[in-house]
Structure 1
């Protein structure tokens, strides 16, 4: 699974025949997260005519979660063109929302399609893309004497320690890149640690 995703939120603006198109792109990892951004923009731009969007969660070439909405624009003229830009550029884990203020001049179906695709492309042009890295949660069981070593190994793999529970042993809940789980197991097995992936 190799695709690009954006590092941070970006915004781009286009004016076409007096209509203003404001495109926002956000990194997301779920449909719920994507819809949260749509609702936030509806609240921020309550006077806008349309809030059209498209999202892809996961690999854009083999996704099981993608969606779009024309939000009152003629069918197929807004959400689908935004989605097409994301798929063409192979960008995943993203939503682009385009807020439109109508300027009084009708653009027609072809004009709308070009405007929304152009708005999405303008947002893409502002993006800093990076390879997507799938993460996994892992539990590490260790004794008190080797806790510091466990922390060192996790941090050396650019992982994060999410939670630590102390009883007769130490239980560390950590997040690391899926590709690094085997390295983590090998590095910690030397010291007799138990490593289990969690769902």
Structure 2
């Protein structure tokens, strides 16, 4: 599954805590744009809570609901009672590029398999409920060459296409390198050709993801 051009991702690390049947559950959620970064985050949380009974985890790298790059671990809890329900909660959380660790300090009361599934599912849902998010936008890099007479109109049209000027070069004509969302490339090209009466030169240097 290819990456979607835009989706919600965690804006920063976020942590919530709750007590269930005398066990302390600490849920830590973080951005995970790559599998390597997801695993590094998990390792950091394990180092932070080395005395915990369990540091169960799950991650989804890619758009919300995608399973191509996903992982999970029960970390010593009965098989299927932590990692799987955590991953399921992530997949239904409408957030991509996300990793979560639920740290458990056992309080002496056994929850049973059903209780553990509910606990770990609820921890992830609680962690996502007030998670600060931002938008991941795949961007294309374009090269554009226009006549001097079109520069003012060209600059006025950039904000409507969320285009960002990376560089500009003045010679016989004016050359630009731009970044803009991949979903805007076609409409931008149409507007550019309309503006310049078909005289602009445009090349996609990097189509983005």
Shorter-chain TM band: 0.7 to 0.9
Q: Is 2:89 aligned against 1:97?
A: no
TM superposition shift of 1:61: 4.1
Residue deviations 1:103-124 (CA, integer Å, cap 9, x gap): 2333232222111111011112
Q: Do the aligned partners of residues 165 and 4 (structure 1) sit closer, same or farther apart at CA in structure 2, a change above 3 Å counting? A: closer
Name the CA distance, whole Å, in 2 between partners of 1:151 and 1:34: 39
Matches of residues 1-199 of structure 1 in structure 2 within 5 Å?
5-9=8-12, 10-127=14-131, 134-142=137-145, 145=148, 153-161=157-165, 163-164=166-167, 170-174=175-179, 176-189=180-193, 190-191=195-196, 192-198=200-206
Q: Distance in 2 between matches of 1:126 and 1:32?
A: 25
Quickly say closer, same or farther: Cα 1:195–1:155, change in 2 above 3 A: farther
> How many angstroms does 1:167 deviate by?
8.8
Q: Is the 8 A contact 2:10 2:98 kept in 1?
A: no
Structure 2 CA distance for partners of 1:195 and 1:111, relative to 1, 3 Å? same
- Report the RMSD for the aligned CA atoms in angstroms: 3.2
TM-score (norm 2): 0.74
Q: Which has the larger radius of gyration?
A: 2
Between the aligned partners of 1:16 and 1:155, the Cα distance in structure 2 is: 50
Instruction: Give a deviation string over 1:46-93, Cα, whole Å, max 9, x none.
Output: 332322111222344454222211122221111111111122344333
Q: Matched residue of 1:77: which SS?
A: coil
Gaps of 5+ in 2: none
* Greater CA drift, 71-80 or 5-14: 5-14
Judge conservation of contact 2:9–2:136 (CA < 8 Å) in 1: no
TM-score (normalizing by structure 1): 0.77
Aligned residues: 196
Unmatched runs of 5 consecutive residues or more in structure 1:
none
> Does the Cα contact within 8 Å between 1:6 and 1:26 map onto a contact in 2?
no
